[in-house]
Amino acid sequence: MSNVKNYTEQGGDRTVIGGELDITPEGKLAFDGTPLSPATLQANSNAADVAGLVTDFNALLAKLKAAGLMKSV
């Protein structure tokens, strides 16, 4: 029996990461061909009304889409 934390099951259909996955600056992470990256920081909302909150929320959505973390349909 093996005690490795990271392994690919026989056949290659499933890889298990039980340890740390470190992606270097040269490395890439993609989902369904779309590159993923950390999202740009969204500042805490200081909205005083619903319209301001909607603006802040839409800014967050745009940043998640730009990072590849949410599909743009």
DSSP assignment of 24-47? -TT--EEETTEEE-PPPP-PPP--
Instruction: Note the pLDDT of residue 61.
Output: 95
Instruction: Note the pLDDT of residue 42.
Output: 96
Question: Which residue type does 21 have?
Answer: L
Instruction: Note the pLDDT of residue 58.
Output: 97
Q: Given a cut of 80, is residue 1 above it in pLDDT? A: no
Q: Given a cut of 90, is residue 71 above it in pLDDT? A: no
Return the percentage of the chain with pLDDT > 90, whole number.
63
State the residue for tokens 């040269």: 26
For residues 15 and 26, what is the distance between their CA atoms, to the nearest angstrom? 21
State the pTM of this model: 0.65
For residues 58 and 61, what is the distance between their CA atoms, to the nearest angstrom? 5
Average pLDDT, the chain: 90
